Amino acid sequence: MYRNILVPVAFDDGHDTQAAFLAARKLASEKAKFTVFHVMEAIPAYVTAQIPAEVLARSHDDAQKALTQMAAGLPGASAVMATGHAGRAIVDHAAAHDIDCIVIASHKPGLENLLLGSTADRVVRHAKCAVHVLR
């Protein structure tokens, strides 16, 4: 059983967050710590220069509120948001915070990633801890 579980989530309909939460609870030890994690992709500077600062701030705040609300579905979980490349940010966060298991959903793949979604694929290949992939 795992004691420090990271559950990356996306806000789209293609990922079953509740299934990930259920799997995380089943894999958890009695006093496990859960982190629900979302990565906002970085917006190129030439784009952000054209967007008012208050719009960017409101977008970030809305995402943080949605993440906090989503994390409420996993009792005792903390909500953490990062910015950057999703696969890299998940692996980096896991390494920096002594995560011993990542529970991640994978979308139906296309030709470019035959078995897993590109984010899940990167996490499986680079994480130094156990990774449980849901399809």
Q: Is the dihedral of CA 82, 108, 11, 68 positive or negative?
A: negative
Q: 24: closest CA among 134, 109, 121? A: 134
Please give the Cα distance from 117 to 121 (Å, whole number).
6
In this structure, CATH architecture of domain 2-130: 3-Layer(aba) Sandwich (3.40)
For tokens 């579980």, name the residue. 5
Q: Mind listing the pLDDT tens digit of every residue in the chain (135 residues)? A: 999 999 999 987 766 789 999 999 999 999 999 999 999 998 899 999 999 999 999 999 999 999 999 999 998 999 999 999 999 999 999 999 999 999 998 866 554 445 555 898 899 999 999 999 998
Per the structure block, which two tokens stand in for 65?
């509120």
Please give the Cα distance from 108 to 97 (Å, whole number).
29
Please give the Cα distance from 37 to 91 (Å, whole number).
11
pLDDT at 106: 82
pLDDT at 12: 79
pLDDT at 113: 45
